[in-house]
Structure 1
Amino acid sequence: MSSVQRFIQAYANEYLKPTNRLPENLSFDEFKYARGRMAFQYIDAQTGTILDILPSRFSCHIKNHFYTRYSYRERCSVKTITIDMNAGYEKLIQELFPKAKIIIDRFHLVQLISRSMNQLRIQVMNGFRRGHNEDQKKYRRLKRY
């Protein structure tokens, strides 16, 4: 067991107290642990408090956890859930939290826009690279700056 995994387990055992109440605003995320395996955590989006950590991010495990721990009424009280751009969570959220609105977190949105702009810049630069002398000057300027 790695040091990080031991720390996470110690934290989970010490600080995470199971509760039957859900906050109005949740946040879902996953992280790597134990030889690259992915774990799932859900967080109170307003306070940043980790509510629970599940050792698997598979939909069936997440569904089972929420169905057995929280009543339908409690799950309906959740208003928003913030996620990264993991498409698998959308269907899961609609099923588990029928009244919750899905919010894509801004970090992943900015990251997507940044990647798209960079791909467009490279496309434009490659068009200049094959051109005549003036186009090659533009290519060098774009590459430099």
Structure 2
Amino acid sequence: MAGNFKDNIKNSISNFKNWEQKSHAEDWILYPENLSGRLSLDEVALSDGELYTVLTSKAAKGRKGSIVAVIKGTRSETVIENLFKINRDLRIRVKEVTLDMAGSMKLIAKKCFPNAVQVIDRFHVQKLATEALQDIRIRYRWEAIEQENILLAEAKEKKLKPEIEIFENGDTRKQLLARSRYLLYKTREKWTASQKQRAKILFSEYTDMEKAYNLADGLRKIYNQKIQKSVAMLKLAHWFKEVEESGFKAFSVLMKTIMNHYSDILNYFDQRSTNASAESFNAKIKNFRLQLRGVRDKSFFLFRLSKLFA
């Protein structure tokens, strides 16, 4: 009965069979009328990890009129070929495109929207800083797990009760490093009382963790300040110096990554534009996908998505 009901919706009630984009929907759908001066370019997995490139309009604020294009895959040649189906006179009116640091995305934006300023999304940069910080925590956690395993094995061999260190907040070393994950994502001002206590213990036991946290938090604070591009350049220069002095390999890699995309990252400080609308739209796609318990028919899924957001 459920299958018949779905088929009835698809074939009769929804008007899917008359959808003008039905024949090519699995490969691309375009809504040129939704183009605006400011766009977001991102990727999303529709089903089984299969990626689609999604172009959305910031003007629609995640509501109807958001979708400009949904194109199968992330290969720049394929995406460019399909976006070129949109009239060039419309494309050259685009003034800004926010995107991540992927070379393919930058090429798509450059070729399809030649007059647009490219803005690297701040949250992609901050995410790399957080991942660099978490890498250090994870490394120490594995060491703590191994240390506890050795203690348990020795105690078992000697038929003694294992003497596992417990900190003042009740955490073992292994638990301290596991439970610190969430507080490292937050600013100090947003820590709860228990997180403040845990952070105090963590930073006293692992002083380089505090140094790494301050680096990640320092980058976040640069972004959070309403400053001009010239001031941001100066503050980033100071941050680069702190990274070099820290000796952390992961942060050094991040610093080089920022330098490789320097001008597009600094463009954020002109209008403070982010890819948040694209991330929000991607979250809506994922939520819609969950409600449907997966995507079996991609064309029909994209049809329903279009009805809501195009």
TM-score interval, normalised by the smaller of the two chains: 0.5 to 0.7
Deviations 1:45-69 (A, max 9, x none): 232322232222221221121111x
CA distance in 1, matches of 2:58, 2:126: 19
Q: CA RMSD in A?
A: 3.3
CA distance in 2, matches of 1:97, 1:144: 42
Following superposition, which runs of at least 4 residues in structure 1 exceed 3 angstroms of deviation?
A: 115-119
Aligned pairs (5 A) from 1:79-94: 79-94=95-110
List runs of 5+ in structure 2 lacking aligned partners: 1-9, 11-15, 20-28, 141-202, 211-310
Q: What is the aligned counterpart of 1:114 among 105, 118, 130?
A: 130
CA distance in 1, matches of 2:77, 2:111: 12
Counterpart secondary structure, 1:40: strand
In the alignment, structure 1 residue 40 sits paired with structure 2 residue 53:
yes
Task: Identify, as 1 or 2, the structure richer in helix.
Answer: 2
C-alpha contact (below 8 Å) 1:45/1:82 kept by paired residues? no
C-alpha contact (below 8 Å) 1:21/1:74 kept by paired residues? no
C-alpha contact (below 8 Å) 2:34/2:68 kept by paired residues? no
Identity %: 21
Deviations 1:77-136 (A, max 9, x none): 0000011221211122111111111111121121123334556x67xx9xxxxxxxxxxx
How far off its partner does 1:18 sit?
A: 2.7
Q: What is the aligned counterpart of 2:205 among 129, 137, 140?
A: 140
CA distance in 2, matches of 1:19, 1:101: 20
C-alpha change, 1:74 and 1:33, in structure 2 (3 Å) is: same
C-alpha contact (below 8 Å) 2:34/2:67 kept by paired residues? no
Counterpart secondary structure, 2:84: helix
CA distance in 2, matches of 1:106, 1:76: 25
- RCO greater where, 1 or 2, for CA within 8 Å and sep 6 or more? 2
How far off its partner does 1:20 sit?
A: 4.1
C-alpha contact (below 8 Å) 1:79/1:100 kept by paired residues? yes
In the alignment, structure 1 residue 64 sits paired with structure 2 residue 81:
yes
List runs of 5+ in structure 1 lacking aligned partners: 1-9, 126-137
Deviations 1:22-42 (A, max 9, x none): 200010111112322111111
CA distance in 2, matches of 1:59, 1:74: 20
Aligned pairs (5 A) from 1:7-46: 18-20=31-33, 22-46=35-59
C-alpha contact (below 8 Å) 2:31/2:67 kept by paired residues? no
C-alpha change, 1:142 and 1:18, in structure 2 (3 Å) is: same
Q: How many residues align?
A: 118
CA distance in 2, matches of 1:85, 1:55: 20
**TM-score, normalised via structure 2 length:** 0.33
**TM-score, normalised via structure 1 length:** 0.65
Moved more, 82-91 or 44-53: 44-53
Which residue in the other structure is 2:119 paired with? 103
Which residue in the other structure is 1:51 paired with? 68
CA distance in 2, matches of 1:66, 1:17: 8
CA distance in 2, matches of 1:34, 1:117: 31
Larger radius of gyration: 2
